[in-house]
Structure 1
């Protein structure tokens, strides 16, 4: 996917480049991505699964948080593609909780485990980047990925990870499939969890496309930079 690399201004007015960031997820019509037990739940239609496969094959890197690995244990690969054509798998693991048996460490594609300078954890068969103290420095991560030739990063979850990218103004495209069944639950996770935004701090979006896929609908938004 030949997408533009974004110029950012770091603290101290130092410019740096970063990949275009696409957040992709699926939710129920009532805004949930799983039930209260937080187990993996397929919301996407077969048509949307094919869309996601195509999107993954076009991006140079796919990112999830440790919570997604612990809950779903995904491969983060595209079936049928050879190893050298797979996207770089990026996992945020600030506390070193991802087990060595996780499928993301299976060698089917290159994997970059990202943790903090406070965590000495190593991972078999994966590179490790230690960025930030206490919390992962997402700006430093995007700068690192850009220097590795990544021009498009696909962020797939979970809700805390997606919130962090929105919070730091690092999302360019928000892509969401809305399924055809209600999940409910006061404690059920949503696409964007975290602390949430206060009134007046919300992230403005611009709807750019609507597409019916099976029993659901796919919505694509761009993040507005004009306030």
Structure 2
């Protein structure tokens, strides 16, 4: 089965951070951008976040718009997306809200390593389906499994390690990059990606396919180019 079309969705500060170090949750987006992300979720079949985001934000991962939920049902789809998380260590609690709210698409999926699966044991059996991946191509194997489940489009909402993994593996088909007018400036705050060996290195340019101003937030949409290296004078 074909792999899902993968859309990375992220909101960043002007200096490239996705959060600060203050306990209270930081909202980088505004209402119009949140609505745009909700529309993207409605167009997708599954939503993926990392276990670190589950622990930090404890999101429900649902569609905010009742109209969009109703439209999905009218089209023969579940009202909400299939929820997916990734944990290499197995450090994830069965009480997380993503396991208990708006699971119309079925049990949430947890992808992990052999070590992570051993730590999880049977603690999540009642609320999630656990898949241990032994393939060295972790992210490719994950997408293959989602493809077999009929997932045509996957929206990935972070965090840092997850975005880095998909981009380093060259598996992101599109990037929705919302820039908020904030400066974080905290050394230990999480950034969009970690240092990594991205395909094409620092000379590879992505293709800008859209730029939209949503009040004080700018949303940029990029896709990979087949050939994107630039030379001096070009």
Structure-to-structure mapping, 1:34-113, within 5 angstroms: 34-37=19-22, 40-79=25-64, 80=66, 81=69, 84-109=78-103, 110=106, 111-113=108-110
Question: Does the 8 Å contact 1:46/1:214 carry over to 2?
Answer: no
Which has more radius of gyration? 2
Q: Is the 8 A contact 2:168 2:198 kept in 1?
A: no
Name the SS of the counterpart of 2:52 in structure 1.
Answer: helix
Consecutive unaligned residues of structure 2, counting only runs of 5 or more, are 229-234
TM-score of the aligned structures, taking structure 1 as reference length: 0.85
Cα distance in 2 for residues equivalent to 1:168 and 1:211: 28
Query: 1:36, 1:49 → 2: CA distance?
Result: 22
Q: Is the 8 A contact 2:94 2:127 kept in 1?
A: no
1:114 equivalent in structure 2: 111
Q: Root-mean-square deviation (CA), in Å?
A: 2.2
Give the deviation of 1:190 after TM superposition.
Answer: 1.1
How far the C-alpha of 1:36 sits from its partner, in A, is: 3.3
Q: Secondary structure at the match of 2:201?
A: coil
Partner of 1:127: 129
Going by fraction, where is strand more abundant, 1 or 2?
1
**Could you tell me which residue of structure 2 aligns to residue 5 of structure 1?**
none
C-alpha distance in structure 2 between counterparts of 1:91 and 1:32, whole Å = 21
| 1:145 CA displacement | 0.6
The count of aligned residue pairs is 210
State which drifts further: 37-46 or 52-61: 37-46
Deviation at 1:125, TM superposition (A): 1.7
TM-score (norm 2): 0.82
Match of 2:232 in 1: none
Classify the secondary structure of the residue corresponding to 2:94. Answer: coil
The answer to whether residue 144 in structure 2 is matched with residue 143 in structure 1 is: yes
Q: Distance in 2 between matches of 1:206 and 1:200?
A: 14
What CA distance in whole angstroms lies between the structure 1 residues aligned with 2:198 and 2:9? 23
> Which sections of structure 1, spanning at least 5 residues, go unmatched?
1-15
TM superposition shift of 1:64: 0.6
SS at match of 1:43: coil
